[in-house]
Structure 1
Amino acid sequence: MKITYANGKVEKYFSDYSKMQRELPSDWVRTIKKHMDRLIAAECFGDFLTLGLGKPEQLTGYKNIRYSLHVAPHVRLIIEPNANQDTVMICTEIKVEGVSDYHGSKENWYIP
């Protein structure tokens, strides 16, 4: 799958995991790297969802379709498929929004 990023800061961290490791715990970084490797290897988003790895969960309350992938308790990798509800399973491009704790009344971005 093709991967894009929400902004340059997100791309900087996701293209250099050693830089990410200075900001986040190493077990989080390992999990994030596994998720990214699996997303890249998948032909389409539906293939990735079928695996069920990372406990993918569709988020509500956003203008665009967003999914979260479990990184640690209350910490999620937030991704946005470049698709609408009808084409999400055949989508071949996703945008990485960052790493967030979205539980509770506000979002706390670790990598915005």
Structure 2
Amino acid sequence: MKITYANEKVKKYFQDYNKMQRKIPFEWVRTIKKHMVRLEAAECFGDFLKLGLGKPEQLKGYKQIRYSLHVAPHVRLIVEPNATQDTIMICSEIEVEGVSDYHGSSENWYIP
């Protein structure tokens, strides 16, 4: 699957896990790296969702479709599939939004 990033700052951290480790705990970085490898290996987003790895969950309250992947309690990797509700299962491109402390209506971004 093709992976893009929300902005250059996010891209900088996701292309250098050592830099990411200076900003967030090592255990989180290790989990994020596993998620990224699995996302890259999937043919489409539907294949990734079927595996259920990282407890993917669709987020509500956004204009675009967004999913969160579990990193730690209350910490999520936020991704946005480049798809509509009808094409989510065959989507082959996602955009990484960052790492957030997600509590329903409030967000605290660790990596914006």
Specify if TM > 0.5.
yes
* CA offset digits 1:26-79 (Å, max 9, x no partner): 000000000000000000000000000000000010000000000000000000
Q: Which runs of 4+ in 1 moved over 2 A?
A: none
> For 1:1-112, what aligned pairs fall within 5 Å after superposition?
1-103=1-103, 105-112=105-112
How far apart are residue 104 of structure 1 and its match? 5.2
CA distance in 2, matches of 1:9, 1:46: 28
Structure 2: segments with no counterpart, 5+ residues = none
Q: Which amino acid aligns with 1:51?
A: L
Tell me the distance in 2 between the aligned counterparts of 1:54 and 1:8. 25
Cα deviation, 1:78-103, whole Å, max 9, x if unaligned, reads: 00000000000000000000000120
In 1: Cα distance, 2:48 partner to 2:42 partner: 6
Aligned length: 112
For the residues of structure 2 that align with 1:23 and 1:45, how far apart are their CA atoms? 28
Shift of 1:106: 1.8
Deviates more, 1:100-109 or 1:75-84: 100-109
Which residue identity is paired with 2:78? Answer: I
TM superposition score normalised by structure 2: 0.98
- For structure 1, list consecutive stretches of 5 or more residues without a partner in the other structure: none
Distance change >3 Å, CA 23–CA 43, structure 1 → 2 = same
For 2:97 and 2:91, the matched residues in 1 are separated by 17
- Whole-angstrom distance in 1 between the partners of 2:49 and 2:26: 25
- 98-107 vs 50-59, which deviates more? 98-107
Give the residue type in structure 2 aligned to 1:46: G
